[in-house]
Amino acid sequence: MAVADPNDVYLLRPLNNSPPSAEDKRHSAELEKFLRDAGLYEPDEDAYLRQEVLGLFYELTQTWVKGVCRKKNLNVEDARAHVYTFGSYRLGVHGPGADMDTLVVGPRYVLRDSDFFGSDKHCLQYMLSQTPDITDIQPVPDAFVPMIGIKYKGVQIDILYASLAMQTLPEQLDLSSHAVLRGCDEPTVRALNGCRVTDTMLKLVPRQDVFRTALRAVKHWASLRGISSNVTGYLGGVNLAIMVAKICQLYPRAEASTVLLKFFILLKAWPWPRAIHLRIPEEHSLGLPVWDPRPGTRDSLALMPVITPAYPAMNSLYNVQRSTLEVMTEEFAGAADVCTSFLHCPPGKPIEWGRLFTPVPFFTQHSFYIQLEVSADSEGDLVLWDGWVSSRIRRLVRNLEDHVRIRPYPKAQKPPPELLKVTAAKEPDTKDALVDAKDAGKDADACAAGRPRLCYYIGIDKRAAAALTAQQLLPNGQVAQLPPHAMTGPAGAPAGKVDLKQPCTIFVNEVTAWPAKRPGMELRVNVLKRAALPSWLPGVPQRPPAPALPAPPPAAVDSKATKAATGVKRAASGEPSNDAASAAPAAAPLAQQPAKRARANQAATAATAVAPAKRAVAQDAGPEAAAATAGASQPPPAKRAKAAQAAPRSQTQSPALTPEPHSGESAAAASAAPAQTQAGGEPATAAPSSAGAVSAGAGGESVAAVASGSAAPSGGAVSSGAAATDATAVAGAGGGGEGLSQEAAQQLAERASQADERAAVQESQLHNTGRDMGDWLGVDHGVALTGVQGSPSASS
């Protein structure tokens, strides 16, 4: 049996070794010009600043190692540390504002846990915090590769540490030698591998200038498409570098434009999980774990393996999950279609590179979004808290991807400063958030401060059930169950109801269990519809302000005001009035319908304006006018009999109520006169108060129940105070009844207030139901997911 050639197994033979054409060189020059115009090359002054910062940092590390040496009573003369760079800065593809990956190598007595991290005076973390030009210190001791992030004079630096098994480091240390790995633990080996992989990669690419231009373009594309974060499960800098280096090996003489086009075309057709290798993995007597994809091993579960070229070979894309792999393959396919069209570009015509480098419309392409709001009391605490939360987002993605289609957006979104000033006055209510992790002991006023915050977003969509195939039909006639990841077919019914609360709760519990969590570090998880996204997010259209409620027609207001004024005139002159009979059934609609109540208050205001001028006329008329009014207001005989039948009930249920006016108000106290009885035993009716209007104050609701049967002085308007609830009843048809006691009047007022509150609650419930996510996000769990205005309901 023939043994397969390793070069064929790892695809190490070139696919095309032809020299580039003049057209390829012209396209490469156009590509480089496009990248320069996009601002991807660093100015010279920024490059000089980076060199200066590296020199200052090197001096700081020497001081640190010597201080640790003194603390442990060791020889200080030979104590030294080395500082190396790797990543994009070492490869020469960094852009303006990019971070610098650095590795500090120290002797074996300088330990990571007690000397590199820590708040003691001899620790490097403490020394960094005491350096004036260093800010935003972010230690991550429990990361896959422990590190400290800092900003030194505005330059972002990620610091890794490796302690070698040497008492004294030589002045010239070659990290490419396997001997430096002897006696090192796994975190140290991973830290050393950063520099070793970078140096090995530069040795394996045929043309470094072509490699750098193509890699710069691919990194720019990945950033625009939102897939350039290894911590979120996408592509990091070293992953993209290995993949571009692979294309350079397959096309060793190609120009940068050709390498870029072939990059997307080949990755679209790449048969994942087949691994990408730059060389045959090395074996060594050190016995360190290397890449092993045999069945039953951990590496056999890798979804998108990209193997590092230096010993020990590792999978650099270990964070990739099923959902992020789907996103990346879709992006590769879309870019490959554009690049295929570039291959048919007529000779002499420039390539439209802008068609390839287009930003992803993330905030407009999903139906719903999960919002993770990270906040803290200070910017320093926010840096620490954000670093921890962002490193755990992929755990939430893993818990959600079995239920819905997931696309996490790796870039944190920071609200504008003016928005933080607004939220300082009024913090959004968190009682309706899906999951809310907040300090229980914090004062409410402290929570309402405009605290620094960041927001992460995850796009979610329904998974469509795959179409039924013949292979799914079992011999017994039933249908075989598909695994969750297979429910992605374009055809078929939408997936069933989904509960998002449980995975989000698990995520919050895991994140908030961080031992280094400080008071004030908070995390809120909400589910938002696309239309409810904040307008300050990139690509979200500005929503116009809600239109104001239309004002009532002037004619209707004027007619009510005229009618009220006419009632005042009739009461003053003793003329009969039939308005009282219609006032009682209108009282309940006024309490339940805010629009009608507002118009009634306007009419009452107009009537009250007329009342003072007419009140004097009524007072001059004296008791005679009241008696005349009572006699003139007799109902027709047909109604008189009905009133007589209702008289006993009216005497017990609708007695006259005389509320006391509040202090400082100009409202006149309502008074009820004894009802008069005619000779035939029929109850007599009296004219009601001509201004029987009720206006509610700022803190109360008012209900007016007006019925015929008792005389009241004109201008009897009742106005409730800021925290009062008034109920005014001018007693009805059964004369002879006495006024209610003060206790009974208070009970009637409380019942009216409770009725108003119940109506308001029902109206609010109907309004919230209209914003519900409905059947899309599943069963109701009794928790409304409306922590941010416009968010959908609890079931998701």
Q: For 447-486, what is each residue's pLDDT tens digit?
A: 445 789 999 999 999 876 556 566 666 666 566 655 544 4
- Contact by Cβ (8 Å): 362, 539: yes
Task: Evaluate if residue 362 carries a pLDDT over 70.
Answer: yes
Give the Cα separation of 780 and 499 in Å (integer): 9
- Contact by Cβ (8 Å): 309, 242: yes
Percentage helix, strand, coil, to 5, in the chain?
40, 10, 45
Average pLDDT over residues 380-393: 90
Task: Evaluate if residue 693 carries a pLDDT over 50.
Answer: no
**E strand or H helix at 622:** helix 594-632
| β-bridge partners, 696 | none
**pLDDT score recorded for residue 216:** 97
Give the Cα separation of 650 and 637 in Å (integer): 19
Give the Cα separation of 774 and 770 in Å (integer): 9
Task: Evaluate if residue 354 carries a pLDDT over 70.
Answer: yes
Task: Evaluate if residue 694 carries a pLDDT over 70.
Answer: no
Q: What is the CATH number of domain 362-532?
A: 3.30.70.590
Cα distances (Å, whole numbers) of residue 489 to 296, 400, 401, 468, 635: 29, 18, 15, 10, 77
DSSP structure class, residue 76 = S
**pLDDT score recorded for residue 450:** 73
**pLDDT score recorded for residue 445:** 39
**Pairing outcome for strands 694-695 and 453-461:** unpaired
How is residue 511 written in tokens? 């994140």
Strands (E), 345-448: 368-375, 405-413, 435-437
Q: What does residue 152 show for φ and ψ, rounded to 5 degrees?
A: -110, 110
Q: What percent of the chain is modeled with pLDDT above 90?
A: 50
The separation between CA 116 and the C-alpha centre of its own chain, rounded to angstroms, equals: 35
**pLDDT score recorded for residue 744:** 79
Residues 6+ apart with CB under 8 A from 193: 308, 310, 312, 314
pLDDT band at 405 (very low <50, low <70, confident <90, very high): very high
Task: Evaluate if residue 549 carries a pLDDT over 80.
Answer: no
**pLDDT score recorded for residue 630:** 44
Of 185, 177, 179, 162, which Cα lies nearest the Cα of 104? 162
Of 706, 710, 711, which Cα lies nearest the Cα of 734? 710
Residues 6+ apart with CB under 8 A from 56: 133, 152
**Is residue 25 exposed (0-12), middle (13-18) or buried (19+ Cβ within 10 Å)?**
middle
Give the Cα separation of 107 and 76 in Å (integer): 12
Give the Cα separation of 243 and 316 in Å (integer): 11
More confident residue, 719 or 172: 172
- Contact by Cβ (8 Å): 687, 707: no
**pLDDT score recorded for residue 397:** 94
Question: Architecture of domain 1-37+189-339 in CATH?
Answer: Orthogonal Bundle (1.10)
| β-bridge partners, 374 | 454, 523
C-alpha atoms less than 13 angstroms from C-alpha of 669 in its C-beta half-sphere = 9
Of 239, 257, 159, 241, which Cα lies nearest the Cα of 205? 241
Q: What does residue 476 show for φ and ψ, rounded to 5 degrees?
A: -85, 5
Q: What does residue 705 show for φ and ψ, rounded to 5 degrees?
A: -115, 110
Q: Residue 26, Cβ neighbours under 10 Å: how many?
A: 16
Q: Per mean pLDDT, which of 25-34, 280-289, 491-500 is the most reliable?
A: 25-34
**pLDDT score recorded for residue 468:** 56
**pLDDT score recorded for residue 37:** 96
Task: Evaluate if residue 427 carries a pLDDT over 80.
Answer: no
Average pLDDT over residues 88-106: 94
The DSSP secondary structure of 117-154, one letter per residue, reads SSSSTTSHHHHHHTSTTEEEEEEETTSSS-EEEEEETT
Task: Evaluate if residue 606 carries a pLDDT over 60.
Answer: no
Q: Per mean pLDDT, which of 177-191, 409-423, 445-459, 706-720 is the most reliable?
A: 177-191
Task: Evaluate if residue 379 carries a pLDDT over 70.
Answer: yes
Of 747, 794, 749, 748, which Cα lies nearest the Cα of 771? 794
SS3 per residue for 714-752: CCCCEECCCCCCCEEEECCCCCCCCCCCHHHHHHHHHHH
- Contact by Cβ (8 Å): 34, 216: no
Strands (E), 418-475: 435-437, 453-461
pLDDT band at 490 (very low <50, low <70, confident <90, very high): very low
Of 687, 685, 659, which Cα lies nearest the Cα of 737? 685
| Residue type (1 letter), 508 | V
Which value, in Å, is the radius of gyration of the alpha carbons in the chain? 40
Q: What percent of the chain is modeled with pLDDT above 70?
A: 63
**pLDDT score recorded for residue 789:** 37
Give the Cα separation of 164 and 184 in Å (integer): 6
**pLDDT score recorded for residue 203:** 95
- Contact by Cβ (8 Å): 206, 249: yes
How is residue 20 written in tokens? 């580039």
Q: What is the mean pLDDT of the chain?
A: 75
Domain boundary assignment for the chain: 1-37+189-339, 42-173, 362-532, 562-740
The DSSP secondary structure of 91-102, one letter per residue, reads HT---TT--EEE
pLDDT band at 678 (very low <50, low <70, confident <90, very high): very low
- Contact by Cβ (8 Å): 216, 88: no
Q: Per mean pLDDT, which of 177-181, 353-357, 710-714, 759-763 is the most reliable?
A: 353-357
Of 341, 221, 431, 225, which Cα lies nearest the Cα of 243? 221
Q: Residue 603, Cβ neighbours under 10 Å: how many?
A: 20
Question: Reduced to 3 states, what is the DSSP secondary structure of residue 520?
Answer: coil
**pLDDT score recorded for residue 745:** 79
Give the Cα separation of 397 and 298 in Å (integer): 20
pLDDT band at 127 (very low <50, low <70, confident <90, very high): very high
pLDDT band at 591 (very low <50, low <70, confident <90, very high): very low
More confident residue, 657 or 660: 660
Give the Cα separation of 363 and 535 in Å (integer): 10
Average pLDDT over residues 574-603: 48
Which residue carries 């197994």 as its tokens?
9
**pLDDT score recorded for residue 722:** 35
CA dihedral of 198, 201, 203, 208, whole degrees rounded to 10 = -100
- Contact by Cβ (8 Å): 564, 691: yes
Give the Cα separation of 393 and 408 in Å (integer): 8
Task: Evaluate if residue 74 carries a pLDDT over 50.
Answer: yes
How is residue 556 written in tokens? 């209707």
- Contact by Cβ (8 Å): 102, 157: yes
**pLDDT, tens digit, 9 for 90 and up, residues 271-286:** 999 999 999 998 888 8
Q: Which of 426-440, 497-511, 527-541, 751-765 has the lowest mean pLDDT?
A: 426-440
Of 601, 611, 522, 534, which Cα lies nearest the Cα of 566? 611
Note the maximum CA span of the chain: 129
Q: Could you please state the CATH topology (level 3) that the domain comprising 42-173 is classified under.
A: Beta Polymerase; domain 2 (3.30.460)
Task: Evaluate if residue 557 carries a pLDDT over 50.
Answer: no
